[in-house]
Amino acid sequence: MTVREILHVGNLLLRQRSREVTPAELATPIVQELIDDLIDTMRAANGAGIAAPQVGELLRIATIEVRDNPRYPYKPRIPLTVVVNPIIQPLDDEVVDVNEGCLSVPNLRGNVLRHVNVRVRWLDREGTPHDEVRRGLTAGTFQHECDHLDGVLFLDRVHDTRTLTTWEQFERFHRDAFVARISEFVQRVGS
């Protein structure tokens, strides 16, 4: 149980492709402890997710969880999910314009387009395979974390740099309009 230091944008490790984890490796104490540390670090930072490269480990592992989150009060809940070697496939062309932030990009948010309906395949921490559909903002969260495993940050996907904003200015100028729009979306899509 350790809260690890989160690497920030500019650190070259965030720009590497992380490698797959073998089933034998997944069962080792060192990888299981890394998963525990990711969960602790994500929760301590109030993140909706965190990926192993964000703590400097170039393995294809991420954790996702949304409870009552002060960073993202409009986000639907997501039970704790540990994804190992995830593969994401969009199911159609529908996208949503989402205001995102990232624990590795302190105090900055911006708008990115995310697929609304995705198929995600992964192994859980016991090595059990999953093949499920994720929709709406939850699909966006999965895409954000999987991007980290390929060295991609949300900044790379910001389609209009004029949407970039600090948290303080987001609250001041953008929050109400975004929450109104995205709440309508969440009601329509359901997750």
Active site members:
145
Return the H-helix or E-strand segment holding 121: strand 117-123
Size of interface with Ni ion, in residues (CB under 5 A) = 1
Q: What is the nearest approach in angstroms of Ni ion to the Cβ of residue 24?
A: 28
**Of the two residues 102 and 112, which places its CB atom closer to Ni ion in the complex?**
102
State the pairing for strand pair 78-90/95-102: unpaired
**Of the two residues 16 and 28, which places its CB atom closer to Ni ion in the complex?**
16
Considering only the stretches 75-83, 95-103, 122-130, 162-170, report the one whose residues sit in contact with Ni ion under the rule CB under 5 A.
95-103
Considering only the stretches 32-40, 79-87, 94-102, 114-122, report the one whose residues sit in contact with Ni ion under the rule CB under 5 A.
94-102
**Of the two residues 16 and 22, which places its CB atom closer to Ni ion in the complex?**
16
Q: What is the nearest approach in angstroms of Ni ion to the Cβ of residue 72?
A: 12
Q: What is the nearest approach in angstroms of Ni ion to the Cβ of residue 84?
A: 17
Of 102, 116, 120, 139, the one binding Ni ion by CB under 5 A: 102
CA distances from 67 to 13, 73, 74 (A): 29, 9, 11
H helices present in the chain, as ranges: 23-26, 29-44, 136-149, 154-157, 167-169, 175-189
State the pairing for strand pair 49-51/61-66: antiparallel
Q: Name the nearest CA neighbour of 138 among 52, 61, 74, 78.
A: 78
Indicate the residue whose CB is closest to Ni ion.
102
Q: Name the nearest CA neighbour of 151 among 9, 48, 40.
A: 9
Check residue 55 for interaction with Ni ion (CB under 5 A): no
Q: What is the nearest approach in angstroms of Ni ion to the Cβ of residue 74?
A: 18
Q: At what angle do helices 175-189 and 136-149 cross, to 10 degrees?
A: 110
**Of the two residues 155 and 189, which places its CB atom closer to Ni ion in the complex?**
155
Residues that bind Ni ion (CB under 5 A): 102
